[in-house]
Amino acid sequence: MRYNHFSTTLKILVFLTCFNGTAQDLTTSKAGDSLPDNEASISKDGPYLSNAIREYNEAYFVLDRLNTSTGLPPNKFNFQSPQATLEHFIYSSRNGNFEDASYALNLNLLPNTITKEQAATLAEKFYFVLNQRVKINWGGLSDRPDGQIDISTTTNQAIAGKPMRSVVFGEVDLDGRDIILRLQRIKYKEYGAFWVISANTVENIDDLYDKYGPRELDRMMPDWARIQFLNMPVWKFVGTLLLIFLSYLLGKLSLIVLRKLFKKSNKIWVKTIAKRLATPAGWAIGVLFFYISLNKLISFGGTFASTLYAILLIAVIGTITWFIMRFIDSFMVYVAETKIGDTNLEENNESRMMLTYISVARRVLTFVVIIVGFSVILSQFRSLEKLGISLIASAGLATVVLGVAAQSTLGNIIAGIQIALTRPARIGDTVIIDDDWGYVEDIRFTYMVVRTWDERRLIVPLKEIISKTFENWSMTNAHQIRPIILHVDYKTDVNAIRSKFEELLENEEKWDRDHPPVVQVVDMSEKTMQVRALCSAKDASATWDLHCTLREKLITYICKLDNGEHLSKMRIEHEKTIENNPDQ
């Protein structure tokens, strides 16, 4: 076998040009009936020989046989380096010389009865899969016999390294299994070591072609419909647009049918489906139809195919995630509206507790669904998986920075879970936070919404609810005892006020009678004494209204008592001194 460096370099320039950017679409150069069918080229029932690897040398695999039925590659082919072997395979395939291309395949794991025609068909199938689904990194393929990548140094001295006997040049997904495409350096008998496409790669060609080979429309289209536009048949653009239109119609029709079908039901949960789930369901049906039909009918190649299928995969997972999120949200809303009692009543502790659980669970589950959907999207792309591994391995500082940045958000999310479990505040509770009196209106991912008595909204981070002190007037019982403070003169008859207070309470409907009326002198100053009147009501709102009414009536009573004699007053003692005058 000869090694022609100039010839190899020339071929590399040709193939870098051909495979950079948009790759050739093979369905444009052949009529559909001339492409290999999706049936297996090699029968699975043929005779198989034992393992051909006799020795695992550090620099190559020593074989005791190679392609017994088709013969060794002719000496004129250059298989001295990984790059040269792959160039030969692609160059021969592009020119339609699939029999020559088949010599680059290691057929040792296939039945011993394989013919040259079958080997050529395998080469054609493999070339189709490579062109349609694999972006070959030519810069990562060595042009040295030992498989090493040349490294430049400031001294231009040779760098010794461990020789390679196996090189990866691509990856393809096959039903959730990664098929690694490899070139291997082998040695057979007295012949020098050379590179071929590995036997493990070759045995998967039929399965890869069955999944990624030409679609139904690729085979049906006549030659006149294969006119190219931007290196792609025009019929593929038209067919794709038609599928988009059909998918839109199907999604719209599904949306209308679901709404009309479920709205006729008398059950609330069915109407909830029609109201909240019909839209995401219609989108999911349309996107799934487009993804499946496009994958079944039309094949794309090169960079455009990888970009298109990546966008479609994101769209499919995104719409399904949206549907699941909307389903969880609808279910929680249905339970909150139909299975929970009136949470406006502060004494209904069980209802308010359940509503708090549902509110927190609704948002936590939605957050989990988003994370799972995002993770599923990332898991579908090998490049992102490698990026993630690289970041984990080398970006320790970035991880610390991101962790610090996300600490507040994560802390609030965890605080929300703590609130649901420990219940320091529930939806509907009456709370005082930073001297603002209001009601807990909602508990969200990272903050609590408090509606004040004057219809303002306080946004309180959940971490503050856990870490700071606040008043919860409804934590155990909505019942409240609040004071009415009066400042009266020292001469005031407290018993008279006590009797009047009891009389007033008897006529008030908001008094819950759980606590008897109490009137006491609790403090005094140099001017007045301080009288406190205590009474109770069922909740904070009723207590406030009751106390305002009683305060007004008690003030009126004291003003009229002895013509206001008992109102607080300031006393000043004035003494007049008369001097004795002898002339008077």
Distance CA 226, CA 223 (A): 5
Chain-centre distance of CA 538, in angstroms? 46
Q: What is the pLDDT at residue 102?
A: 92
Q: Which among 330, 313, 3 is positioned nearest to 145, based on CA atoms? A: 3
Q: What is the pLDDT at residue 195?
A: 94
> What percentage of the chain reaches a pLDDT higher than 90?
11
pLDDT tier for residue 579 given thresholds of 50, 70 and 90? low
Distance CA 472, CA 544 (A): 15
Find all residues with CB under 8 Å of 24, minimum gap 6, and list them: 18, 94, 131, 231, 301, 302
Find all residues with CB under 8 Å of 380, minimum gap 6, and list them: 310, 313, 317
Top-confidence residue, 407 or 289: 289
Per-residue pLDDT reduced to its tens digit, 417-464: 677 666 777 777 888 888 888 888 887 777 888 888 888 888 888 878
* Backbone region of residue 175 per phi and psi (left: phi > 0; alpha: psi in -120 to 50; beta: other values): left
Per-residue pLDDT reduced to its tens digit, 101-120: 999 999 988 888 889 999 99
pTM over 0.85: no
Distance CA 100, CA 119 (A): 10
DSSP code, position 274: I
Q: What is the pLDDT at residue 201?
A: 93
User: Is the CB of residue 489 less than 8 Å from the CB of residue 527?
Assistant: no
Top-confidence residue, 253 or 329: 253
Q: Which among 127, 176, 177 is positioned nearest to 301, based on CA atoms? A: 127
Mean pLDDT rounded to a whole number for the chain: 76
- The answer on pLDDT for 3 being more than 60 is no
User: Is the CB of residue 63 less than 8 Å from the CB of residue 108?
Assistant: yes
Q: What is the pLDDT at residue 304?
A: 67
Read off the pLDDT of each residue in 177-197 and give the average, rounded to a whole number.
90
Find all residues with CB under 8 Å of 229, minimum gap 6, and list them: 237
| Strands 471-472 vs 430-433: parallel, antiparallel or unpaired | antiparallel
User: For the chain, first and last CA: distance in Å?
Assistant: 155
Q: 3-state SS string over 365-429?
A: HHHHHHHHHHHHHHHCCHHHHHHHHHHHHHCHHHHHHHHHHHHHHHHHHHHHHHHHHHCCCCCCC
Read off the pLDDT of each residue in 24-44 and give the average, rounded to a whole number.
64
pLDDT tier for residue 17 given thresholds of 50, 70 and 90? very low
- The answer on pLDDT for 345 being more than 70 is no
| Strands 61-63 vs 177-188: parallel, antiparallel or unpaired | parallel
Neighbours of 532 (CB within 10 A): 14
Q: What is the pLDDT at residue 7?
A: 38
| Burial class of 85 by CB neighbour count within 10 A (0 to 12, 13 to 18, 19+) | buried
Q: What is the pLDDT at residue 390?
A: 47
Distance CA 353, CA 345 (A): 12
Q: Is 111 helix (H, G, I), strand (E, B) or coil?
A: coil
User: Is the CB of residue 239 less than 8 Å from the CB of residue 221?
Assistant: no
Look up tokens 């193939």; give the residue: 15
Top-confidence residue, 422 or 490: 490
> Residue 485's beta-bridge partner residues?
532
> Residue 452's beta-bridge partner residues?
438
Q: What is the pLDDT at residue 255?
A: 83
Sequence length of the chain is 584
Q: Which among 133, 147, 214, 139 is positioned nearest to 181, based on CA atoms? A: 133
pLDDT tier for residue 574 given thresholds of 50, 70 and 90? low
> What percentage of the chain reaches a pLDDT higher than 70?
71
Chain-centre distance of CA 196, in angstroms? 42
pLDDT tier for residue 15 given thresholds of 50, 70 and 90? very low
Distance CA 334, CA 96 (A): 64
Top-confidence residue, 396 or 80: 80
Per-residue pLDDT reduced to its tens digit, 449-462: 888 888 888 888 88
Neighbours of 189 (CB within 10 A): 10
Read off the pLDDT of each residue in 223-246 and give the average, rounded to a whole number.
76
Q: Considering only CA atoms, give the Rg of the chain.
A: 42
Q: What is the pLDDT at residue 2?
A: 38
Distance CA 493, CA 490 (A): 8
- The answer on pLDDT for 4 being more than 60 is no
